[in-house]
């Protein structure tokens, strides 16, 4: 089923990127940008993108529910059923803060999950057209070519630590543990970019505190199907609907074990 869905989902994502997202990039009026919460932005493009994606995905697979980021912001009870049955998971613009400020990276992310397990995921970079996708048991692909995750090969593993949703004490502890053990780099503030970096040898380790499904369902599957490792801090799999905090991704199982031991044991 998921393989047959691939082409129509990709066509929909590219159409929405072309017709909705990119025309608004660096072309937003002040009143078209607002804050849902502190440093959590939404734009008119996010809302329009989600409406178009939700409509298109409902036509592609009518029996699946829709879990969209902006719909959940308006009605948080929608998120309560994210792990129940078959659902499309939509991030209409991931990296909205970047998008709103006129800077890349940002992306569109779609996942299909059944009873919490992600069956398929798609990550589109509207700026470059790069498409990452993965099917459960079917590997990971970039622009149609199957890919295998690779380590950066640096003297120290390269770590991108998304600590901005942690408490001050948690941030200080992670930074202390990482010092001298990892080469810590800036995060892109965009999961649609962070996950491909783990596969492409640009980053070795990523830590996330907040783990909402639209940010992580597609990316965790992409990393795992590429031979990397993305799991909860206790080693359990990431499941849509599991609202626990904390997620650790790595370009290989070996580096996942090293990071889990160093940063969280």
In whole angstroms, give the CA distance from residue 189 to residue 191.
7
Residue 234 Cα distances to 82, 193, 264, 265, angstroms: 22, 25, 9, 10
Question: With 90 as the cut, is the pLDDT of residue 82 above it?
Answer: yes
Query: pLDDT confidence of 1, banded at 50, 70, 90?
Result: low
Identify the H or E element spanning 206.
strand 205-208
What confidence tens digit (pLDDT) does each residue in 205-242 have? Answer: 999 999 999 999 999 999 999 999 999 999 999 999 99
Quote the pTM value.
Answer: 0.96
In whole angstroms, give the CA distance from residue 154 to residue 100.
34
Mean pLDDT taken over the chain: 95
Topology of domain 2-146, CATH: Fructose-1,6-Bisphosphatase; Chain A, domain 1 (3.30.540)
Query: pLDDT confidence of 38, banded at 50, 70, 90?
Result: low
pLDDT of residue 224: 98
What confidence tens digit (pLDDT) does each residue in 87-137 have? Answer: 999 999 999 999 999 999 999 999 999 999 999 999 999 999 999 999 999
Non-local CB neighbours of 24 within 8 Å, separated by 6+ positions: 32, 43, 44, 45, 48
**Residue-range domain boundaries for the chain:** 2-146, 158-264
In whole angstroms, give the CA distance from residue 13 to residue 124.
7
In whole angstroms, give the CA distance from residue 189 to residue 162.
8
The alpha carbon of residue 134 and the mean position of all alpha carbons in its chain are separated, in whole angstroms, by: 13
What's the CATH number of domain 158-264, 3.40.190.80, 3.40.50.10790, 3.40.50.300, 3.50.50.60?
Answer: 3.40.190.80
pLDDT of residue 43: 95
């Amino acid at each position: 089923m998921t393989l047959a869905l691939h082409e129509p989902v990709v066509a929909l994502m590219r159409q929405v990127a072309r017709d909705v997202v990119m025309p608004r990039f660096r072309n937003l009026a002040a009143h078209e940008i607002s804050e849902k919460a502190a440093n959590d932005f939404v734009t008119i493009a996010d809302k329009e993108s989600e409406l178009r994606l939700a409509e298109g995905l409902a036509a592609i697979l009518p029996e699946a529910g829709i879990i969209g980021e902006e719909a959940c912001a308006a009605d948080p009870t929608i998120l309560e059923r994210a792990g129940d049955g078959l659902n499309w998971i939509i991030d209409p613009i991931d990296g909205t803060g970047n998008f709103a400020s006129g800077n890349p990276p940002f992306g569109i992310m779609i996942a299909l999950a059944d009873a919490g397990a992600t069956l398929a995921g798609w990550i589109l970079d509207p700026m470059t057209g790069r498409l990452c996708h993965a099917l459960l048991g079917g590997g990971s692909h970039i622009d149609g070519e199957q890919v295998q995750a690779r380590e950066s090969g640096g003297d120290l593993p390269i770590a991108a630590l998304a600590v901005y949703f942690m408490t001050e004490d948690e941030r200080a502890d992670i930074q202390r543990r990482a010092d001298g053990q990892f080469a810590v780099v800036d995060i892109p503030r965009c999961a649609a970019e962070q996950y491909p970096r783990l596969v492409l040898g640009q980053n070795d380790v990523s830590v996330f505190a907040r783990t909402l499904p639209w940010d992580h369902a597609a990316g965790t599957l992409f990393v795992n199907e590429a031979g990397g490792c993305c799991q909860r801090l206790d080693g359990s799999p990431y499941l849509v609907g599991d609202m626990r905090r904390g997620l650790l991704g790595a370009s290989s199982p070996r580096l996942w074990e090293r990071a889990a031991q160093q940063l969280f044991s």
